[in-house]
C-alpha cells in the first residue's frame, strides 16, 4: 500500500513557515558572546524539523541546505563555536535563503541555485573555519569529510519497518543520482514468496557505486533522516578498484547515466530559462479547539431553538404568542452569538505581522549607521486574517520611514541631549469595535516649515495658503510629496505615504499623524476588526436609506442658520466651535430627491476623513446597527462615494457610503482646493 504524501504538503509548508519565524526570532534574540542554551536549542530544533520534513517529502534542495545550517548550529549548541555577530548575520541570511527555497518548492517554481550556492558556500566555509576559501572548493581527500578520488561505495540495508516511517529508499537513490554517476546493485535475497510478503515492509538492500569528486558529507546528508532505520557503510573507492558492479545471480542492476528530471519524490525541476507559472496557493487558518467547541455548542443551541419553533408551527394558536416571541428572541440571541463565534475563528494575533519588524529594524539601522531599539506591545491583539494580511505593507513603510526620516544619527542625538539609541514603539489595542495600531518614535519629528516649503515647490499647495500645524502634517500623505534631499533605495521618490493612506482607506480605516519637532512623531491607524461586518448609522435622504460607517462619524447636530456662511457665493461652510467645515448636501451629490431642502430642516452628520472634517446634510437619523457588507463591483462598475451595500431587516437594499470618496466627489463638483478646506474660525 502506497501513501500519497502530497496530502501533507500544505501542513508541512505551514509548519516550516512557523519554524522559520522561530529561527529568525531566536537568532535576533541571541545574546552574542553569552548564548542562552534554551534559545539555541529552539533554533536547532526548528532547523531539524524543516530538514526532516523536507527529506521525508523529497525536497532535497531544502533538506541539504538545512543540513549545513543544522551542523553549524549544533557546534554552537555544543559550545564548540561562539555565536559571534558575523555568524548570526550569516544564519539570518540563511533563513532568508531557506525561505526562498521553500517558497519556490511550494509554488512549483525554480530555486535560485546561484543564490543558494553563494549562501551555502559561506556556511561551509564558516563550518570548516576557512573564510578565504572559494564557495566551490572542497577539502582534501585525506580529511574524513573530504572528496574521494574516484567516488564512494555505499552499502545501504534498510530495516524492514523503514517505509512505515514515511521514508522511501527510491528517493535516496534519486538524490544520489543528482550529485554523481550512480550504479546500483539490488540485493533481493531477503525477498519472501508472494504469499508471505508484507506490502509495507522493506526486503531489499543495495550496493551503490557513486562516482565523482564528491564530499563524503554530501553523501552522508542523503541518509541523515534514515540513519536509525538502516545499516549503512560508506567507503572510498580507490582508483584500482573502479570497475562495473558485479552482476551476480540474484541481483538486479540499475545504471543511471544522468540525473532524472524530478528530485526525490518526483519533484519536477524546470529547465534553465524556463518560465514557471505558479499555481495559486491555498490559504488556511489554524483554529484553536476551544473556538471549534464554542462553534459546535452554538450550532447545538440553534438546533434546539429551531426545534422549539417547529413545534409552534405545527399547531399555532393565539395563546402561543408569548412562546413565539420568546423563541424568536432566543433565535436572535443565538444568531448574534454564532456570528461572534464565527468571526473569532478568522481572528489572528497581530504578532503575525509584528514579528517581521525586529529583523527589519536590525538590518536597516545597521545599514543607516543608526542605533535603534524596537519596543512592541499589544502583539496578542486579534484582528481578521484578511485585514492582517493587507496591513503588513503599510506598517513596513511606516517603520522604514521612522528609521530613515525620524531617528537621527547617534552624534546628532548626542548633541541634542538624547540617548544615542533611538526608540521605535509599535503597539496595538482594541478600542470599541476597532483595532488601533500606533507607530511612534522619539526622533526629530516633522519640520512644519520644511514640509510646507516642499509642498509649495511641488505645487501641492499655494504659497498663500494658511494652514495649521495639523494640516501641514497631513500634507505628507499627498501624492508626490517627499522631503528627502536625494533618492535612495529607502526614500525620495515621493511614492509611499499616499499609498499607505489609500491602502488603509481601502480597509475601511483611518490614519492620523501627530508630531512635535525635536521630540518625535506618532502615526495612529484605526481599522475595523473585520471587513465582513461594520457598525453603521442609518440616515434617511428622501426615500433612500444610506449607511454611514460609525468609525467616520464625529458627531451629529441640528443646523443653526447663524453658523452658516457662504464662500465665493456657492460653497457653504458651517462654524463648528473653533473652525469652519464644508457642508455636503448628500441629496445633491448623490442625485436623489430630499424631503428637507432647507439647512435648518435637516441634520448635519459631522464626519472625518483624511484628517479633514465635513458635514453631511441628511433628512433624518434612523438608528445604529451592524450590517453585513456586500460588494457591488462583481456586477456593477465602481461608483465613487459608495463602498458597498447591505440588506436591511425589511428586505430593502441600502448603500454603504464611502466617506472619503464622497467628500472628494463633493469637492470636485464645487471646485474646492485639495488642501486647506478646514479653516480656523476668526
**The domain that contains 579 carries what CATH number?**
2.30.30.40
pLDDT at position 146 over 80: no
- Range 673-679 average pLDDT: 41
How high is the pLDDT of residue 273? 32
pLDDT score for 491: 52
**pLDDT tens profile 556-582:** 988 888 888 877 656 788 888 878 888
Residues 58 and 74 in one domain: yes
Residue 409 has what pLDDT? 92
% of residues, the chain, pLDDT over 90: 8
Are 119 and 168 in a shared domain?
no
Cβ-contact 383, 392 below 8 angstroms: no
What are 384-428's pLDDT values in tens digits? 888 888 888 889 889 988 998 889 999 999 998 999 999 999 999
In our burial notation (b when 16+ CB lie closer than 10 A, e otherwise), range 203-236 reads eebbbbbbeeebbbbbbbbbbbbbeebbeeebee
What per-residue confidence (pLDDT) applies to 306? 85
513-535 residue pLDDT tens: 888 888 899 999 988 877 777 78
pLDDT band at 628 (very low <50, low <70, confident <90, very high): confident
CA 430, CA 406: separation in Å to the nearest integer?
A: 26
Give the model confidence (pLDDT) of 531-552 as tens digits.
777 788 999 998 889 999 887 8
Q: Give the chain's mean pLDDT.
A: 78
Q: Are residues 545 and 523 in the same domain?
A: no
Give the integer Cα–Cα distance in Å for 602 and 606: 13
Question: Could you tell me which residue, 664 or 396, shows the higher pLDDT?
Answer: 396
Query: Are the C-beta atoms of 83 and 32 separated by less than 8 Å?
Result: yes
Query: Which comes out higher in pLDDT, residue 511 or 254?
Result: 511
Within a domain: residue 353?
Answer: no
Residues 551 and 653 in one domain: yes
Burial of 183 (0-12, 13-18, 19+ CB in 10 A): middle
Which residues are within 8 A (CB) of 268 and not within 5 positions of it... i.e. 6 or more apart? 108, 261, 262
Residue with cell 533554533: 43
> Can you give the pLDDT at residue 387?
86
Are 158 and 113 found together in one domain?
no
Examine the fold and report which residue of 474, 508, 528 is the final residue of a domain before the chain moves on: 528
Q: How far is CA 229 from CA 116, 170, 202, 289, in A?
A: 30, 15, 11, 35
- Name the domain boundary from 96, 128, 160: 128
Residues 222-235: pLDDT tens digits? 887 787 788 888 88
Q: What is the largest CA-CA distance in the chain?
A: 110
pLDDT at 546: 92
Query: What is the SS3 string spanning 210-273?
Result: EECCCEHHHHHHHHHHHHHHEEEEEEECCHHHCCCCCCCCCEEEEEECCCCCECHHHCECCCCC
Chain center to CA of 502 = 19
* pLDDT in the model for residue 411: 92
How far is C-alpha 43 from the geometric centre of its chain's CA atoms?
21
Query: Is residue 28 situated within a structural domain?
Result: yes
Domain contains 155: yes
Closest residue by Cα to residue 146 from 218, 39, 232: 218
Regarding whether 164 and 69 lie in a shared domain, the answer is: no
Query: How sure is the predictor about 375, in pLDDT bands with cuts at 50, 70 and 90?
Result: very high
**Residues 641, 543: Cα–Cα separation, whole Å:** 18
* 3-class DSSP assignment, residue 641: coil
Do the Cβ atoms of 123 and 47 come closer than 8 Å? Answer: no
Residue position matching grid coordinates 549544533:
74
Q: How big is the chain, counted in residues?
A: 682
Domain membership of residue 137 (yes or no) is no
DSSP state of 562: G
Please tell me the predicted confidence (pLDDT) of residue 569: 57
pLDDT of residue 423: 93
At residue 32 the predicted structure's pLDDT band, cuts being 50, 70 and 90, is: confident
User: Phi first, then psi: what are they for 18, rounded to 5°?
Assistant: -65, -40
CATH number for position 52: 1.20.120.160
Residues 49 and 82 in one domain: yes
Torsion 405-411-417-420 (CA) sign? positive
Strand partners, 556: 605
User: pLDDT at position 441, please?
Assistant: 92
- The region that residue 330 occupies, defined by phi over 0 for left and psi between -120 and 50 for alpha, beta otherwise, is alpha
Cell 504578532, residue located = 351
Cβ 477 vs Cβ 496: under 8 Å: no
Residue 381 lies in a domain: yes
CA–CA gap between residue 501 and residue 425 (Å, rounded): 20
Compute and round to an integer the Cα radius of gyration of the chain.
Answer: 33
The pLDDT value given to residue 440: 93
Same domain, 317 and 379: no
Q: Which domain holds residue 300?
A: 289-345
What's the pLDDT tens digit per position in 602-623? 889 999 876 678 899 998 898 8
Mean of pLDDT values over 292-312: 85
Give pLDDT, residue 138: 34
pLDDT over 80 at 210, yes or no: yes
Inside any domain, residue 311:
yes
Q: Residue 289 in 3-state DSSP?
A: helix
Looking at residue 250, its pLDDT comes to: 37
- pLDDT band of 671, cuts 50, 70, 90: low
When divided into structural domains, the chain yields a total of 5
Residue 143 lies inside a defined structural domain of this protein: no
End-to-end CA distance of the chain: 86
Per-residue pLDDT reduced to its tens digit, 89-137: 899 989 999 999 998 888 888 888 888 888 888 888 888 764 333 333 3
**Is 615 in the same domain as 656?**
yes
Shared domain check, 431 and 522: yes
d(CA 613, CA 580): 9
pLDDT(249) > 60: no
Give the range with max mean pLDDT: 172-186, 229-243, 335-349, 404-418. Answer: 404-418
Residues 452 and 507 in one domain: yes
Q: 53 and 119 share a domain?
A: yes
Integer Cα distance of 426 and 440 in angstroms: 7
Q: What is the mean pLDDT of residues 70-81?
A: 84
Domain end point (choices 528, 545, 566): 528
- The enclosing domain of 169 has a CATH number of 3.30.70
Amino acid at each position: 500500500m502506497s501513501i500519497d504524501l502530497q496530502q501533507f504538503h500544505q501542513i508541512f509548508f505551514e509548519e516550516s513557515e512557523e519554524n522559520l519565524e522561530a529561527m529568525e526570532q531566536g537568532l535576533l534574540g541571541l545574546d552574542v558572546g553569552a548564548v542562552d542554551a534554551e534559545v539555541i536549542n529552539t533554533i536547532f530544533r526548528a532547523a531539524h524539523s524543516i530538514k526532516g520534513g523536507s527529506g521525508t517529502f523529497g525536497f532535497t534542495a531544502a533538506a541539504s541546505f538545512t543540513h549545513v545550517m543544522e551542523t553549524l548550529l549544533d557546534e554552537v549548541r555544543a559550545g564548540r563555536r561562539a555565536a559571534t555577530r558575523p555568524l548570526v548575520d550569516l544564519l539570518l541570511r540563511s533563513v532568508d535563503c531557506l525561505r526562498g527555497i521553500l517558497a519556490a518548492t511550494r509554488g512549483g517554481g525554480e530555486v535560485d541555485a546561484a543564490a543558494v550556492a553563494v549562501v551555502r558556500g559561506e556556511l561551509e566555509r564558516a563550518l570548516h573555519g576557512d573564510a578565504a576559501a572559494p564557495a566551490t572548493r572542497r577539502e582534501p581527500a585525506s580529511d574524513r569529510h573530504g572528496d574521494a578520488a574516484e567516488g564512494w561505495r555505499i552499502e545501504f540495508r534498510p530495516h524492514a519497518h523503514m517505509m512505515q516511517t514515511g521514508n522511501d529508499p527510491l528517493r535516496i537513490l534519486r538524490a544520489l543520482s543528482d550529485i554523481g554517476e550512480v550504479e546500483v546493485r539490488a540485493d533481493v535475497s531477503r525477498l519472501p514468496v508472494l504469499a508471505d510478503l508484507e506490502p509495507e515492509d522493506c526486503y531489499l538492500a543495495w550496493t551503490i557505486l557513486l562516482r565523482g569528486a564528491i564530499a563524503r558529507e554530501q553523501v552522508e546528508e542523503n541518509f541523515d533522516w534514515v540513519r536509525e532505520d538502516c545499516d549503512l557503510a560508506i567507503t572510498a573507492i580507490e582508483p584500482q578498484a573502479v570497475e562495473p558492479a558485479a552482476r551476480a545471480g540474484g541481483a538486479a542492476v540499475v545504471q543511471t547515466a544522468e540525473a532524472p528530471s524530478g528530485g526525490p519524490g518526483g519533484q519536477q525541476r524546470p529547465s534553465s530559462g524556463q518560465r514557471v507559472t505558479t499555481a495559486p496557493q491555498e490559504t488556511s487558518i489554524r483554529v484553536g479547539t476551544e473556538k471549534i467547541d464554542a462553534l459546535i455548542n452554538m450550532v447545538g443551541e440553534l438546533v434546539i431553538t429551531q426545534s422549539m419553533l417547529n413545534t409552534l408551527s405545527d399547531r399555532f394558536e393565539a395563546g402561543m404568542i408569548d412562546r413565539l416571541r420568546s423563541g424568536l428572541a432566543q433565535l436572535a440571541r443565538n444568531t448574534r452569538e454564532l456570528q461572534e463565534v464565527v468571526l473569532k475563528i478568522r481572528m489572528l494575533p497581530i504578532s503575525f505581522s509584528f514579528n517581521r519588524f525586529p529583523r527589519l529594524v536590525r538590518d536597516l539601522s545597521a545599514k543607516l549607521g543608526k542605533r535603534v531599539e524596537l519596543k512592541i506591545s499589544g502583539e496578542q491583539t486579534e484582528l481578521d486574517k484578511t485585514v492582517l494580511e493587507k496591513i503588513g505593507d503599510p506598517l513596513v513603510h511606516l517603520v522604514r520611514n521612522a528609521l530613515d526620516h525620524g531617528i537621527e544619527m547617534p552624534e546628532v542625538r548626542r548633541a541634542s541631549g538624547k540617548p544615542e539609541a533611538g526608540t521605535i514603539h509599535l503597539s496595538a489595542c482594541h478600542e470599541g469595535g476597532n483595532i488601533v495600531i500606533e507607530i511612534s518614535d522619539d526622533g526629530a519629528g516633522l519640520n512644519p516649515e520644511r514640509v510646507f516649503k516642499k509642498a509649495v515647490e511641488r505645487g501641492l499647495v499655494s504659497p498663500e495658503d494658511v494652514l495649521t500645524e495639523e494640516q501641514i502634517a497631513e500634507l505628507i500623505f499627498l501624492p508626490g510629496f517627499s522631503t528627502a534631499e536625494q533618492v535612495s533605495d529607502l526614500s525620495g521618490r515621493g511614492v509611499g505615504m499616499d499609498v499607505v493612506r489609500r491602502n488603509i482607506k481601502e480597509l475601511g480605516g483611518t490614519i492620523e499623524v501627530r508630531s512635535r519637532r525635536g521630540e518625535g512623531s506618532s502615526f495612529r491607524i484605526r481599522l475595523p476588526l473585520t471587513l465582513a461586518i461594520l457598525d453603521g448609522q442609518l440616515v434617511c435622504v428622501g426615500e433612500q436609506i444610506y449607511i454611514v460607517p460609525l468609525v467616520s462619524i464625529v458627531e451629529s447636530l441640528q443646523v443653526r442658520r447663524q453658523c452658516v456662511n457662504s464662500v465665493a457665493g456657492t460653497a457653504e461652510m458651517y462654524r463648528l466651535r473653533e473652525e469652519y467645515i464644508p457642508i455636503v448636501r448628500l441629496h445633491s451629490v448623490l442625485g436623489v430627491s430630499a424631503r428637507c431642502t432647507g439647512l435648518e430642516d435637516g441634520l448635519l452628520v459631522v464626519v472625518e476623513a483624511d484628517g479633514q472634517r465635513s458635514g453631511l446634510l441628511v433628512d433624518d437619523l434612523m438608528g445604529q446597527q451592524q450590517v453585513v457588507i456586500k460588494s457591488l463591483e462583481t456586477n456593477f462598475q465602481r461608483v465613487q462615494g459608495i463602498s458597498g451595500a447591505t440588506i436591511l431587516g425589511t428586505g430593502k437594499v441600502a448603500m454603504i457610503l464611502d466617506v472619503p470618496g464622497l467628500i472628494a466627489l463633493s469637492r470636485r463638483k464645487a471646485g474646492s482646493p485639495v488642501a486647506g478646506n478646514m479653516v480656523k474660525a476668526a
